[in-house]
Chains A and B, each alone.
Chain A
Amino acid sequence: MNYHWHWGVFFSSTGIGKEIYLDWFITGLGWTIAISLTSWLIALVLGTALGVLRSLPNRGLARIASAYVTLFRNVPLLVQLFIWYFLIPDWLPDRAQIWLKQDLSPSTSAFLSVVLCLGLFTAARVCEQVRTGIQALPRGQLDAASALGLNLSNAYHHVLLPQAFRIIIPPMTSEFLNVFKNSSVASLIGLMELLAQTKQTAEFTANLFEAFTLATLIYFVLNMGLMYFMRWLERKVRVPGLIALETK
């Protein structure tokens, strides 16, 4: 294959102002981090709430949470994104539509759709992790909490959730990293995050392999960093003697 390699391409001018191609990657990385962290925050809050609901003795509430998980986990992420970006805005009242489509900058508008989509999608997955974390605890934990006179909400707050969260740190790490990788769907609605900038560089320079190699490296380093952070967190919050962490 006679491919013309040119690694210096990242430092060459884009022809737009004083930008070099590397600047595009940096801007893109900024968007990727912004999308991922915002979505993760939504996913964590909503997912925890849903996870608790699913583990409650109240059947009705558990069923609502379970329906949520079924819906959001079974529809492809990309389809969900197109629904949030193209379909739902058209159902809003006219004034909201104009605000969303014209008053907001296109990037902000796309950003809202993406974080909502990715946040709600990931919440379904976080919900399942939280539920399994709670259900992994021995039944006696809740009984003991009740025996101590804690009501249900206090039992979750002080006894069940602190233990459940510690147990699920490893699978939650995967979900956290997934958010960063899934954030690349934003490139499909014109938000210039890392993947979009990569594709753009590849198209403009015809140096496709260099562009995608750099993007791969950035994603890899970013996710490695997050993984080490989560490992550090796991050790930091570790409670000596807690069964599920004994093997560590």
Chain B
Amino acid sequence: MLKRTMVTLALLGCGLLTATAYAQELTGTLKKIKDSGTIVVGNRDSSIPFSYFDSAQHPIGYSMDIADAIVDEVKKDLKLPNLKVSYNLITSQTRIPLIQNGTVDFECGSTTNNIERQQQVAFSLGIFEIGTKLLTAKNSGIKDFPDLAGKNVVTTAGTTSEHIIKKMNEDKKMNMNIISAKDHGESFLMLQSGRAAAFMMDDALLAGDMAEAKNPAEWAITGKPQSFEIYGCMLRKDDPQFKKVVDTAIGNLFKSGQINTIYAKWFMQPIPPKGLNMNFPMSEDLKKLIANPTDKSAEQL
């Protein structure tokens, strides 16, 4: 305990010293980027169309376009036009520790901003808003969540959807069998192979899976959203300098309307690698988020 107090005091001392003596001095991530000449961006491999690989194994997507804007802002802020950008693949399990231990400087993918994660990391202004819905075969007779009673339902392990559907099952005694698949691809495979009657997930990701299906016309996204979630870029906690740059970059995209171009590119037009079109118009919730940017989670609003 004593040791911890001393460490805290020492850190505090350093903090004060830095604050007074070097008011303009770079700290945290910006200092790290300047010293190393490299910025490390975390990317996902299969969060279509947010962050995934194209056929050349280069990370692309809606969130990666936003990440590019952030990198440009960092270059401008540090006056380092030739800043090297490297990408580091993250998974839902590795993303938090890799940001905390400095392997990755920030990530933009499909990470929900929630209170639990805010204990560990900081979030940028929200970049997307989803509702959790159901993907099911058009002829399944399932129109909304109450229709799921007694059925097999698949969702991806570790997602908010998993928590919500398990809670719903318990609270409303719906007698569903809930399968927790390891990733979105496997969830959709469980749905397609008939092991589950419906797949609960973020609507935008469901639209991505549907677009990938052999026959997209067979499937439908349905149900009253059970929750709304705001995606944000994740960065290290207690790093106001870097967060300011990140939020400025995102705020500028929103203000200038460039975000609409990015949105249309990924959700309303054919996207690589297969040239599929998600046909997923911008929701009212996302329009509201863009008009009133926030770094709070949906549950805090």
Contacts and interface: CB of A to CB of B under 8 A. Distances in A.
Interface of A: 1-4, 6, 14-17, 86, 89-90, 97-98, 101-102, 105-107, 109-110, 187-190, 192, 196, 199-200, 202-206, 208-209
A101 B195 CA distance: 5
Given A4-B119, A206-B96, 15 more contacts: A1-B102, A3-B100, A3-B120, A16-B170, A86-B189, A106-B152, A109-B195, A189-B182, A190-B180, A196-B180, A199-B157, A199-B158, A208-B93, A208-B96, A209-B97
B194 interface: yes
B35 to A, nearest CB: 18
Nearest to A110: B179
Contacts of A106: 152, 177-179, 195-196
Contacts of B152: 102, 106
B163 A206 contact: no
Interface in B219-241: 236-238
A47 to B, nearest CB: 29
Contacts of B158: 199-200, 202-204
A207 to B, nearest CB: 8
A206 B179 contact: no
Given A15-B163, A101-B193, A187-B182, A4 B177 contact: no
A205 B114 CA distance: 10
B287 interface: no
- The main secondary structure of chain A at its interface with chain B is helix
Nearest to B100: A1
The 6 nearest A-B residue pairs measured at CB = A203-B158, A206-B116, A17-B170, A190-B179, A106-B179, A4-B119
Interface centre among B116, B162, B196, B238 (most CB of A within 10 A): B116
A31 B171 CA distance: 24
27 contacts: A2-B236, A3-B120, A4-B120, A16-B170, A17-B170, A97-B194, A101-B193, A101-B195, A102-B195, A105-B177, A106-B178, A106-B195, A109-B195, A187-B182, A188-B186, A190-B157, A190-B190, A196-B180, A199-B93, A199-B158, A200-B157, A200-B162, A204-B116, A204-B163, A206-B96, A206-B120, A208-B93
B119 to A, nearest CB: 5
Nearest to B166: A16
B195 to A, nearest CB: 5
A109 B163 CA distance: 22
Interface in B85-130: 92-93, 96-97, 100-102, 116-117, 119-120
Interface in B149-181: 152, 154, 157-159, 162-163, 166-167, 170-171, 177-181
Chain B interface: which size bin? 35 or more
A101 B191 CA distance: 11
Given A86-B189, A205-B116, A190 B181 contact: yes
Contacts of A189: 181-182, 186
A85 to B, nearest CB: 9
Nearest to B195: A101
A190 B163 contact: no
A188 B171 CA distance: 27
A19 B163 CA distance: 12
B191 to A, nearest CB: 11
A214 to B, nearest CB: 15
Given A2-B236, A102-B152, A190-B157, A203 B166 contact: no
Nearest to B120: A206
Nearest to B189: A86
Given A17-B170, A202-B93, A1 B101 contact: yes
Given A4-B120, A16-B170, A107-B177, A203 B102 contact: no
